[in-house]
Amino acid sequence: MPRMAYDDAHIIILTGKDRVRFLDGLSSNKIDFQDNQVISTCILSNKAKILGQLHLFNLNEMLVGITITDDFVKLVDYLNMKILGQDVGINDVTKLNYVDLIFDEEISNVEISSKDGCTIVTIEGKYQFEMYSTKLERRPCNTNLEAFNEWRIKHIIPWYGFEISSKKNPYQCGLNSQVHENKGCFTGQEILTRMRTRGKGIYLLTCMENDSLKPDEASTHGKAKSLVLKRGQ
């Protein structure tokens, strides 16, 4: 299967009895774990801009977050600032692990598994993060960002640095599925709810033939097709 080193990811671990409730109040998706489940969510500013995207799963008594952000220090400072006496601890274990991205047409539906010292986390049944200790030998990678982007275009998956940025909210970059509409208050919720109810400012991520593109319209350029964020209704 295509494997790409993904060194842009950080791994944080949240500990303490308040860890789930703490993160639920600060993120756009509902953090309500069923067994062996991965929850993808966004940490938002109070203006609903994306501070970071987290893929969360439980590991023993810890909450692990594969964290994708353009400013990790800012994100951690933000989370730190919100700990007001709750029982929450944050550890950064990025340097202890390699992270690889696996993407293929056929990916296991098991959301969390482990094999040969690797923790394998499947996102929405489409792609996987493999995390393993830096004490192990790095596994050979056989593909690159260009191939990953071609695959993303085919599967219409938004990505940090292309569609997703800290200047946008989830509805502006195709992350609608990571906003829970009925979970109640979370930081940035008021703005997102207003956008949704008024139907304004929401963008849809679509795949288009390059021949039909306007200049600078694509967020991810492919060889024949590209991803485009189009303003919705």
Partner 1 sequence: MDCGTCETASPVLIQKPEVVEVNLTITDNAQSMLEQAFGDDRSMALLVGVLSGGCSGYMYDLQIVETTDIDCQELSISGFRILVPNSSSHLLNGIEIDYEDRLMGGGFKINNPNAKSSCGCGESFA
Q: Which residues are near partner 1 by CB under 8 A?
A: 11-13, 22, 24-26, 45-46, 59, 62, 64, 76-77, 80-86, 89-93, 96-97, 118-119, 131-135, 185-190
- If the CB atoms of residues 56 and 227 are measured against partner 1, the closer one turns out to be 56
- If the CB atoms of residues 76 and 102 are measured against partner 1, the closer one turns out to be 76
Report the nearest approach of partner 1 to the CB of residue 97 (Å).
5
- If the CB atoms of residues 71 and 92 are measured against partner 1, the closer one turns out to be 92
Report the nearest approach of partner 1 to the CB of residue 113 (Å).
12
- If the CB atoms of residues 187 and 219 are measured against partner 1, the closer one turns out to be 187
Report the nearest approach of partner 1 to the CB of residue 46 (Å).
4
Structure tokens at 152: 């993303």
Report the nearest approach of partner 1 to the CB of residue 117 (Å).
8
